[in-house]
Structure 1
Amino acid sequence: MPPRDLRRGEKMDPPAAARVSNLPGNGASRVREILRLLDQDRDLPTLSPVVEKVLQRVKDERVSIRELAEIIKNDVSLSFKILKVVNSAFYGFPRKISTLTQAMVILGLSAVKNLALSMSILEIFVQEASRGKDGKGFRVFWERSLFSAVAARRLALLMKHRNEEEVFIAALLQDIGTLLLIKHLPEDYAEVMEKAQRSASDIVALEEDAFGINHAVLGEFLANKWRLPRTLTIPILRHHNPSPTPDSLEPEEQHIHQLTQLVQLSNQISAIFYEEYRSDRVEQLKQSARTHFNISPQEIEDLLDHLADEVKEVAEFFGLPLEGTQSYSELLMAANIALGKINLTYEQMNRELIAAKKRAEELSEQLAEANRKLQEMANVDGLTQIFNRRVFQNLITREFYRSHRYGHPLSCIMIDLDHFKHVNDSEGHLVGDQVLREVAALLHGSLRKTDFLARYGGEEFVVILPEAENKAAATLAEKLRRAVEAHPFDIEGRTIHVTISLGVATYSREMPVTSEEELVQRADANLYLAKRYGRNRTWTEDDSQQLRERLAEPAEATQNEPLPT
């Protein structure tokens, strides 16, 4: 962290916007130069004289409400704004408050002090936005700061914090150092921001890379120049990385630490609205809120749903020209559209969900449901509603690895419908599809819970049998064959019959296989033999061995021997 006692030089005109590459030296010397430029800048943001005097007098325990009211009355605009906010829904008092003295009696000195400070800070933000070259950058900065402040105050109310106004101002000030970087190093900071958005990198690390200092340290520097209390300067400095809570902290330090954690949460919330939307940010926010403050995920959802509207109201109370901001539902909708451009199927599915629900406020739940269905679509065959070939490849790889590692058997059954082309040609493809669906259901209903059934392609199916020896696999294959053979397929008042051929292959200590690909190839080869030698039958490794032995014998010795059954 840079030294706080900066050298006091002769006052200079405000320096023009600089480039980091033009600053002398590097590392610590560059940091000192940046701080020297800031320290000598007459145009550095300053609090109004009235607010500065209020901050000084509040430190005196003997100060009276009447005295503070007289000080604030010297700023007519500030007095009017305070009374306007006090009488707004921001506080929701049942009766009108007509004087500053009355407001102080009801709210307390600390709350009025923080309210006055908040107004002064927001006025600085808006002034910088109106006169700076990068007007859009300043506007986005103060709008996001207001989002953070309103979110922090809402969190404080949820956890019944003793001073929600203090939380509001701490969150409002958390990124005040960014204001200095935008103002004094606009081109360099624009590059840093672009890099942060492009790479999703930590903004603090990127700032330190570029400038040797980060906005949190600069924010503390400015807060100290304004003589703000530690309850505000420490959260500004540490809001990106609050240290774990030690049990031995004094009450005041515990209070500051809690403030810092609330400010960090508010920063996570504003990132959801002002950076590229990522669902993991929402989940991290919910987890942090529950861990640190026992705030439930549903309470966080409600907060996010209503935050944009509440920020608009607060901006109006404070007399701020807030431009159109997206609500949480709109953010989710925009994220959904972006995902839909990547996957047209997903886009169509999400449109159907939106059309069915007709409630933008529930878009978060709809998007979660859409993601679940998209995952299901990626894993399930659309016609038969069983696993597809892609999932089969993953499962056979996983199961073969487990079997090979632990020495357990693994069997694979390849299945093909006999004369299925004739069914399609004579009955039509719609009937063929119905037959495939019914066959899939029959197979699935005959398997163990630990087995996996997938459609391999066309009229072919495949079964993975973990922990199944060759004999057990052959027995199950026969069960499947008989189930299909005995099943009547009712087609528009007519009944047709279908049979299947099955090839069985097994990996075990007695029947070694080098890879999952070889296991599948053996099952496929056995399926081919089942179809070649009669169809509507099961062909196992034992059958193949018998066939090889028969073919190896002299022709006259085998001419009357039957094929394996």
Structure 2
Amino acid sequence: MGSNTLPTAKNMNITTNSGLAGDKSASGGKEKGYSVKLADIIERIFQNILQDSRKIINAISTKNAEAANILELQAQKIGSIEDKISSILQLQTLEHDEFAHTREPVDVCEEISLIVNNLQKIVPPQHAGDKKTIIETRFPEEKSPVKLNKNLFQKWIRWCIVKIYQEKPVLHVFIDVLYQNNELTVHISPKRVSGQLEISWKSIDWLLAHRYFELENCNLTRQKDQGVEIVMPAIIQYAPQISEHTDKGKIDILQKISEGGDLPTLSPIAVRIINLATDETSSAKDIADVITLDPALTARLLKVVNSPFYGFANEITSIPQAVAILGMKAVRTLSLCISILETFPLDGESKFDYQDFWQRSFASAISCKLTAQKLGLHIAEEAFIAGLTQNIGSLIFVRYFPERYGRLLKRYYGDGVDLSGVEEKIWGIDHAKLGHEVFSQWKMPMILGETILYHHAPETVPEDNTKLKKLVTLAYLSDIASHVLYDENKGANLHKLREEYKTMLQLEEDEIDEIMEHVTKETETVAKDFDFNIHGPADYAQILQNANIELARINLDYEQMNRELVIQKKRAEKLTNELQKANKLLAKEVITDGLTKLYNHRFFYELISKEFATAKRHNHYLSCIMIDIDYFKQINDTYGHREGDAVLKSIGRKLIGSIREGDFAARYGGEEFAIILPNTNCKEAEVVAERIRKNVEDSVLSEKMQKGKVTISAGVASFENQNVNKSVELVQLADKAVYMAKKAGRNRVISYNHPPE
């Protein structure tokens, strides 16, 4: 052990013949990595050294206690070294991803609670007579797990807590956990201490803790309060808030889909067709051979291609013939379309209206294809399947929540509620993302999955992907077309459809109407060709008539509403002006003394606090004058409270007339007043105070009192050369000076900074 050479596979004898290279870990039979094997070997070496040390300690403890103590300390140091080496190797293992399979969702708050409870039970105070340290925790209501190596997390979060907990001056530890923006932040800090606290974080354990959290994509930092903060990425939850039957459970839809266990499965033939779709070397013969293996698929495909929707003069009798006439891509897309339709139910329980869903989907598909043909785009079959499947994510929601999701769709079709927004709010994911995830799991052609993802927001498609942009635009418009045909508010939807078609595709109204008329005629027939029995939409001429009546009514309503808005706007403006005046008056009343119209006691302290902070920061002068009316009780008793109030008002006016702009006068309370003089030293403040005193003495302040009948005592205190620490102290010193003036005979000014001899 005296060598400085670091252990290697060679000098530690780790070879394929050593019996260690093929070791299996206890969890799952996974072969141990080099770092794990190395850690095992070092642990055994240190365990042997510690066992030998214990034997020596036991042998000599009865003869030489001092030697036994020295050996005991050495054994502890050896144990500490072993622990640190073990930690280093654990982190090396984590860095090489040998622990990746052991990462799992960890409830951070639960783990911290277990550690805290354990510490409070078993860890004694550090020193005899010390009080037991209190640990206070605050956790968010929402559970937000983090994917971590649980054992290593327990070790290093405990180290962070214990590091602060066992510091002698620390009496109270606060652990605050906050969940925000998909991040979990843990703040561990000393809340209350007895004496000077200096926590040293400069140690190998700090480096190891910092490295561990770094390897877990977390961030451990020291804080100014001598605590630590750990920021961890939480697992993004896509779990719905309510289950269909219990209204309590959670179903993580996305997780179920990603695991594949609860996902609708395509037929083996469909899977093979998808594989051929992504294989650039596949030929028309390959596609035809695979489709022909499935007689049912062959029959349904031939039925579709021979339908009036395609309008071929001669009957197509075989798949090779269909491929030759329609093209390989069209036949492949149609085959996928048929396979997808077979995967989902045509109808079901009354909790969800499958009939309505599929008739809208077929209308969208036909609209999508006809528009592509109208524009001369060679993506007609892709457009058809894009229009048909753009809302397939909704059927995944229906698998779990048929009744609730059915109600949501009715609100969407009837009231135009933000469907994606509500889905995101309830389940954490919308039907577009869900459909995209399904197509990704099925390994469908990428462009179809991305069309589903973007079909509600074509403006978000990257501009350089022109084919996707076209397909998404077609799907987006076809979805609006289905609303025109099946929603109640046809007028508003038709207006939107025409505007969007004109803006996005530069098609005129007559061209749009032509497409829509064909959609209404062909929807029911095409659906039957795919073995779907649905009701087609009403005649388009009737739809147009109803929509135009609705639009006319909307226009009339708009004009009436516009007139009402003008009237309401004028009323609102008048009300706003009145409210502004009332608010200004109220704001003034809140800070003003009702009798003297000077600032009140509460606002005086706000002002002097701000002025004191400014003076202290810039090392400026600040003076405060406190004033008390002499023998004011006798005035009230002799002349009455009405005359007393008249005196208070008069003195208030005298104060306002005696100070500069930028100075502040306030009624402190009762017969007391206060003046704040920024940028004024003590000598200058004394001059102001004396001028006010003389002005009061030489004035007639009430009809019933002669000149000189009312006098005041004033006290001055100034902030000079940082002689006062707080604004309240300055006020107290001025108040003491008033007391000195009264004690000296009243009707005078005394400065606390320059008291009389």
The partner residue of 1:71 within 271, 281, 290 is: 290
Q: 2 CA distance for matches of 1:257 and 1:20?
A: 42
Q: 1 CA distance for matches of 2:257 and 2:462?
A: 35
**8 Å Cα contact 2:351-2:406 kept in structure 1:** no
| CA-CA distance at 1:285 after TM superposition | 1.1
- The residue that corresponds to 2:255 in the other structure is 36
| CA-CA distance at 1:214 after TM superposition | 0.6
Given the alignment of the two structures, is residue 23 of structure 1 paired with residue 235 of structure 2, yes or no? no
**8 Å Cα contact 2:386-2:448 kept in structure 1:** yes
Q: 1 CA distance for matches of 2:541 and 2:421?
A: 31
| CA-CA distance at 1:266 after TM superposition | 0.6
Given the alignment of the two structures, is residue 181 of structure 1 paired with residue 432 of structure 2, yes or no? no
User: TM-score, with normalisation over the residues of structure 2?
Assistant: 0.40
Amino acid at match of 2:439: A
Amino acid at match of 1:84: K
- The residue that corresponds to 1:172 in the other structure is 388
Amino acid at match of 1:216: A
Aligned partner of residue 111 in structure 1, secondary structure: helix
Give the gaps of 5 or more residues in structure 2.
1-102, 105-241, 571-757
- The residue that corresponds to 1:114 in the other structure is 333
- The residue that corresponds to 1:62 in the other structure is 281
Q: 1 CA distance for matches of 2:413 and 2:526?
A: 28
Q: 2 CA distance for matches of 1:234 and 1:206?
A: 22
- The residue that corresponds to 2:433 in the other structure is 217
More helix by proportion, 1 or 2? 1
The partner residue of 2:519 within 307, 330, 334 is: 307
Aligned partner of residue 91 in structure 1, secondary structure: coil
Q: 1 CA distance for matches of 2:412 and 2:554?
A: 27
Aligned partner of residue 97 in structure 1, secondary structure: coil
Aligned residues: 331
- The residue that corresponds to 1:141 in the other structure is 357
Post-superposition CA distance 1:214-247 (Å, at most 9, x none): 1111101111111011210111011111225665
Aligned partner of residue 295 in structure 1, secondary structure: coil
| CA-CA distance at 1:22 after TM superposition | 2.4
**8 Å Cα contact 1:97-1:103 kept in structure 2:** yes
Q: 2 CA distance for matches of 1:170 and 1:225?
A: 17
- The residue that corresponds to 1:518 in the other structure is none
Q: 1 CA distance for matches of 2:394 and 2:244?
A: 15
Amino acid at match of 2:346: A
Post-superposition CA distance 1:249-293 (Å, at most 9, x none): 1xxx21011111111001111112232224122122112112222
- The residue that corresponds to 1:445 in the other structure is none
Distance change (3 Å), C-alpha of 1:98 and 1:181:
same
The partner residue of 1:235 within 446, 451, 461 is: 451
**What RMSD over aligned residues (CA atoms) do the two structures have, in Å?**
3.5
Amino acid at match of 1:61: E
Amino acid at match of 2:426: A
**8 Å Cα contact 2:483-2:490 kept in structure 1:** no
Amino acid at match of 1:18: E
Given the alignment of the two structures, is residue 49 of structure 1 paired with residue 268 of structure 2, yes or no? yes
**8 Å Cα contact 1:141-1:179 kept in structure 2:** no
- The residue that corresponds to 1:559 in the other structure is none
Aligned partner of residue 457 in structure 2, secondary structure: coil
- The residue that corresponds to 1:129 in the other structure is 346
Amino acid at match of 1:71: V
Which has the higher relative contact order, 1 or 2, with Cα contacts under 8 A spaced 6 or more apart? 1
- The residue that corresponds to 2:368 in the other structure is 152
Distance change (3 Å), C-alpha of 1:368 and 1:119:
same
Amino acid at match of 1:89: P
- The residue that corresponds to 2:316 in the other structure is 97
**8 Å Cα contact 1:144-1:270 kept in structure 2:** yes
Amino acid at match of 2:333: N
Post-superposition CA distance 1:126-159 (Å, at most 9, x none): xx234x3247522221221111111101111111
- The residue that corresponds to 2:500 in the other structure is 288
Amino acid at match of 2:270: V
Distance change (3 Å), C-alpha of 1:325 and 1:286:
closer
The structure number with the bigger radius of gyration is 2
Distance change (3 Å), C-alpha of 1:117 and 1:135:
farther
Amino acid at match of 1:303: I
Q: 2 CA distance for matches of 1:93 and 1:52?
A: 29
| CA-CA distance at 1:306 after TM superposition | 3.1
Q: 2 CA distance for matches of 1:66 and 1:267?
A: 35
Counterpart mapping for 1:328-339 below 5 A: 328-332=540-544, 336=546
- The residue that corresponds to 2:474 in the other structure is 262
**8 Å Cα contact 2:484-2:493 kept in structure 1:** yes
| CA-CA distance at 1:328 after TM superposition | 3.0
Distance change (3 Å), C-alpha of 1:322 and 1:193:
closer
Q: 2 CA distance for matches of 1:220 and 1:20?
A: 29
Identical aligned residues as a percent? 31
| CA-CA distance at 1:53 after TM superposition | 0.5
Aligned partner of residue 459 in structure 2, secondary structure: coil
Distance change (3 Å), C-alpha of 1:174 and 1:189:
same
Q: 1 CA distance for matches of 2:422 and 2:434?
A: 15
Counterpart mapping for 1:511-530 below 5 A: none
Q: 2 CA distance for matches of 1:122 and 1:298?
A: 33
Q: 1 CA distance for matches of 2:429 and 2:458?
A: 18
The partner residue of 1:317 within 517, 529, 540 is: 529
Post-superposition CA distance 1:58-98 (Å, at most 9, x none): 32222222222121111111111211222222222222222
**8 Å Cα contact 1:20-1:211 kept in structure 2:** no
User: TM-score, with normalisation over the residues of structure 1?
Assistant: 0.53
Q: 1 CA distance for matches of 2:497 and 2:509?
A: 9
Counterpart mapping for 1:198-209 below 5 A: 199-209=415-425
Q: 2 CA distance for matches of 1:19 and 1:210?
A: 16
**8 Å Cα contact 1:192-1:210 kept in structure 2:** no
Aligned partner of residue 310 in structure 2, secondary structure: coil
Q: 1 CA distance for matches of 2:557 and 2:392?
A: 42
Distance change (3 Å), C-alpha of 1:136 and 1:330:
farther
**8 Å Cα contact 1:19-1:188 kept in structure 2:** no
| CA-CA distance at 1:111 after TM superposition | 0.5
Post-superposition CA distance 1:324-367 (Å, at most 9, x none): 5433344456xx4xxxxxxxxxxxxxxxxxxxxxxxxxxx5676
Amino acid at match of 1:124: T
Aligned partner of residue 287 in structure 2, secondary structure: helix
Distance change (3 Å), C-alpha of 1:137 and 1:367:
closer
Q: 2 CA distance for matches of 1:135 and 1:21?
A: 16
**8 Å Cα contact 2:352-2:398 kept in structure 1:** no
**8 Å Cα contact 1:129-1:136 kept in structure 2:** no
| CA-CA distance at 1:184 after TM superposition | 0.9
Amino acid at match of 1:153: K
Q: 1 CA distance for matches of 2:494 and 2:459?
A: 22
The partner residue of 1:279 within 483, 488, 491 is: 491
Aligned partner of residue 45 in structure 1, secondary structure: coil
Post-superposition CA distance 1:519-564 (Å, at most 9, x none): xxxxxxxxxxxxxxxxxxxxxxxxxxxxxxxxxxxxxxxxxxxxxx
Distance change (3 Å), C-alpha of 1:324 and 1:231:
closer
Aligned partner of residue 22 in structure 1, secondary structure: coil
